[in-house]
Amino acid sequence: MIPAAFEYFRPTSVKEALALLDHYKDEAKLLAGGHSLIPLMKLRLAQPRYVIDLGRVRELEYIRESGDQLLIGAMTRHVAIETSDLLRQRCPLLAETASVIGDAQVRNMGTIGGSLVHADPAADYPAAILALEAEMRVVSSQGERWIRAEDFFVDMLTTSLQPGELLVEIKVPVLPPRTGTAYVKVAQKASGFALCGVAVVLTIDQNGVCQHAAVGITGVAPKAYRARAVEHALRGQKLDASVTAAASAKAAEGIDPLEDLHASAEYRAHLARVWCRRALEQARARV
Amino acid sequence: MTRTTIEVTINGVRYRHEVEPRLLLVHYIRDVVGLTGTHIGCETSLCGACTVLLNGAAVKSCTLFAVQADGAEITTIEGLGEEGRLHPIQEGFWMKHGLQCGYCTPGMILAAYQLLQRYPDPTEAQIRHGIEGNLCRCTGYQHIVEAVRYAAEKLRSQKA
């Protein structure tokens, strides 16, 4: 479990990190919290010649409010998101999701940006990021652009980031009144990764009619996805247990579930339906 | 490959070494500094045997390069108590039979240390959630939970 040798750089600014990335290109890997990259390097599944450690790029560690948006720096650790009063009040879904990632030690090191760009199909954040319709700001020496959550995850371990680009910020909306959210998951016992994780954002008016529904599901398919059929079945409906149950039955519609040692495809699809219902019920109760 | 000079403080003692960037923190602590109380268990970030405190936060030292810890304050199990004067958490593990083989214990104690800093009066659920990253194959956890509770009471009575 000894990683292959590499050359180490520790920039202190985004500008410096981009210059290194431009110089070493594909031979370089960016190191954030290291809880995805270092395990891969120990197994020698990743053998970068150059490692650019972002651990001292302090300008990427923040959580702040800007108008009706919340901005989170890519190097913000899970523990900071889990315990942020601002997020707990204004976007509890993200804090709740962070609180169940891995374990306490993992949350002390892992970062939101590192987790998102790794795009593990069983990671927790992608479900919440999709349900929140977050946007990701990426920069390169050429400039910057925003990527919508739905365009961000391309496939297993693959995002739409281009070579030379660095994820610097995640933007999530402050949720409107009468909105309830929830993230629930069935974890693989040893690793804590999601066999199935469901994030829900529900806005319900005074009469109990669903104005907005967004459902993100992780762990089930090669990439996290929006359960559009579920959302469609909820919108405009007066919500009760039978409506949410009927909608949840569509949670695995149109997807090709993963199958591995831990769960068959059929079981994963089953989990998606059951835990979608539970997430919806919990979000509804929190409105 | 270029070696990098790092400076760390471990249990109050300053160390300065030239290391290969690929050297893991746990190997640095054990093989370079010579503090073997920190154990290597699974090497896959799951078991928590290698847990140390990095600037006060519990981390798995097998999933960190030593160069990342440059400038940091580290606490290992050797820095907690001493022969004949155990830290209240160590005493709790002793009194409540929180260990059998002892392999997970250093990591378990440091995870408990962080837990008790965050929650001085933890519920059972908070204790179990706090040691989620540490595996024990002997005790079934029950005695560990009791040990942490013992330590919490002792630490609070010391403060009072």
pLDDT of residue A246: 98
Same domain, yes or no: A152 and A85: yes
pLDDT of residue A3: 97
Question: What distance in Å separates the CA atoms of residue A286 and residue A49, rounded to the nearest whole number?
Answer: 49
Q: Please tell me the total count of domains within chain A.
A: 3
Distance (Å) from the alpha carbon of B50 to chain A's nearest alpha carbon = 11
Q: Does A2 map to a domain?
A: no
Q: Does A101 map to a domain?
A: yes
Helix, strand, or coil (residue B10): strand
**Fold matches, B4-79 and B88-159:** no
Q: Do A38 and B64 count as a contact with CB atoms less than 8 A apart?
A: yes
Q: Indicate the residue among A173, A203, A234 that finishes a domain.
A: A173
Q: Indicate the residue among A121, A151, A173 that finishes a domain.
A: A173
Same domain, yes or no: A282 and A185: yes
Q: Count the neighbouring beta carbons within 10 Å of the beta carbon of residue A141.
A: 12
Task: Tell whether the model's pLDDT for residue A180 goes beyond 70.
Answer: yes
**Superfamily of domain B4-79 in the CATH hierarchy:** Beta-grasp domain (3.10.20.30)
pLDDT of residue B117: 96
Domain coordinates of chain B in residue numbers? 4-79, 88-159
Q: Which amino acid is at A30?
A: L
Same domain, yes or no: A48 and A77: no
pLDDT tens-place string over residues A87-122? 999 999 999 999 999 999 999 999 999 999 999 999
CATH number of the domain residue A16 falls in: 3.30.43.10
Task: Tell whether the model's pLDDT for residue B83 goes beyond 90.
Answer: no
Same domain, yes or no: A163 and A192: no
Range of the domain at A94: 59-173
pLDDT of residue B51: 98
Q: Give domain B88-159's CATH number out of 3.40.1030.10, 3.40.50.300, 1.10.150.120, 3.90.1580.10.
A: 1.10.150.120
Distance (Å) from the alpha carbon of A6 to chain B's nearest alpha carbon = 7
Task: Tell whether the model's pLDDT for residue B2 goes beyond 90.
Answer: no
Q: Do B43 and A42 count as a contact with CB atoms less than 8 A apart?
A: yes
Q: Does A64 map to a domain?
A: yes
Pick left, alpha or beta for residue A170 (phi over 0 → left; psi -120 to 50 → alpha; otherwise beta).
Answer: beta
Residues of B in contact with A10 (CB under 8 A): 67, 70
Q: Which residue of B lies nearest to A106 if distances are taken between CA atoms?
A: B59
pLDDT of residue A274: 98
Q: Are A270 and A249 in contact (CB under 8 A)?
A: no
ipTM above 0.90, yes or no: yes
Among B45, B67, B114, whose Cβ lies nearest the Cβ of A39? Answer: B45
Q: Indicate the residue among A114, A138, A173 that finishes a domain.
A: A173
Same domain, yes or no: A49 and A63: no
CB-count burial class (<10 Å; 0-12, 13-18, 19+) for A61: middle
Average pLDDT over residues A201-219: 97
Same domain, yes or no: A120 and A222: no
Q: Which residue has the higher pLDDT, A189 or A215?
A: A215
Q: Does A237 map to a domain?
A: yes
Same domain, yes or no: A109 and A140: yes
Helices (H), chain B: 25-27, 88-95, 105-118, 124-130, 142-159
CATH number of the domain residue A257 falls in: 3.30.390.50
Kindly report the average pLDDT of chain B as a whole number. Answer: 96
Average pLDDT over residues A125-153: 97
Kindly report the average pLDDT of chain A as a whole number. Answer: 97
Question: What distance in Å separates the CA atoms of residue A86 and residue B72, rounded to the nearest whole number?
Answer: 28
Task: Tell whether the model's pLDDT for residue A218 goes beyond 70.
Answer: yes
CATH number of the domain residue A145 falls in: 3.30.465.10
Q: Which amino acid is at B96?
A: K
Phi–psi pair at A217, nearest 5 degrees: -125, 130
Same domain, yes or no: A65 and A160: yes
Among A5, A8, A192, whose Cβ lies nearest the Cβ of B67? Answer: A8
Same domain, yes or no: A39 and A144: no
Same domain, yes or no: A11 and A88: no
Q: Which residue of A lies nearest to B21 if distances are taken between CA atoms?
A: A8
Distance (Å) from the alpha carbon of A58 to chain B's nearest alpha carbon = 14
| DSSP class per residue in A191-249 | T--EEEEEEEEEEE-TTSBEEEEEEEEESSSSS-EE-HHHHHHHTTSBP-HHHHHHHHT
Among A38, A39, A102, whose Cβ lies nearest the Cβ of B133? Answer: A102
Q: Does A1 map to a domain?
A: no
Residues of A with CB under 8 A from a CB of B: 1-8, 10, 31, 34-35, 38-39, 41-42, 51, 53, 55, 79, 102-106, 108-109, 190-192
pLDDT of residue A53: 98
Question: What distance in Å separates the CA atoms of residue A122 and residue A124, rounded to the nearest whole number?
Answer: 7
pLDDT of residue B1: 66
Q: Which residue of B lies nearest to A109 if distances are taken between CA atoms?
A: B59
Average pLDDT over residues A243-261: 96
Same domain, yes or no: A217 and A254: yes
pLDDT tens-place string over residues A38-83? 999 999 999 999 999 999 999 999 999 999 999 999 999 999 999 9
Same domain, yes or no: A47 and A63: no
Residues of B in contact with A38 (CB under 8 A): 45, 63-65
